[in-house]
Amino acid sequence: MGLLVTLEPSTAPMRQEVAEAGDYHSPGWNRAYPKVQIVTIEDLLTGTQPEMPPMRQTFQRSQQISKSGHQQPAMASLFEDA
C-alpha cells in the first residue's frame, strides 16, 4: 500500500493511476483497501485519514524461541545453501 501526500489536489492522470493500481484485500479484516491513495496536506490537517487496515491484529504474532536455550541461526546462514 502506498500513500502520496501532495500540496495540490490530484490530477486526472494521477487518479487514473490510482484506479489502475487496484485494491488490497485484507484477509484479517475481510475488507478491500486501495493499494495507492492520494491525500493533500490540507486533507491531513483537516482530519482526513487514509483508508488503511487498523494496526492492531493486522500482523500475526511470531513464534516464541524455545526455552531450552537453542538460538535461531543467523539470517545469513539460512540462505547459504540456497
The domain limits of the chain are 1-53
Burial 10-47 (b: 16+ CB within 10 A, else e): beeeeeeebeeeeeeeeeeeeeeebebbbebeeeeeee
Question: pLDDT, tens digit, for every residue of 15-54?
Answer: 999 999 999 998 888 999 999 999 999 999 999 999 988 8
Question: Band of the pLDDT at 68, cuts 50, 70, 90?
Answer: low
Question: Band of the pLDDT at 62, cuts 50, 70, 90?
Answer: low
Question: Band of the pLDDT at 82, cuts 50, 70, 90?
Answer: very low
* pTM for the whole structure: 0.60
28 vs 82: which has the higher pLDDT: 28
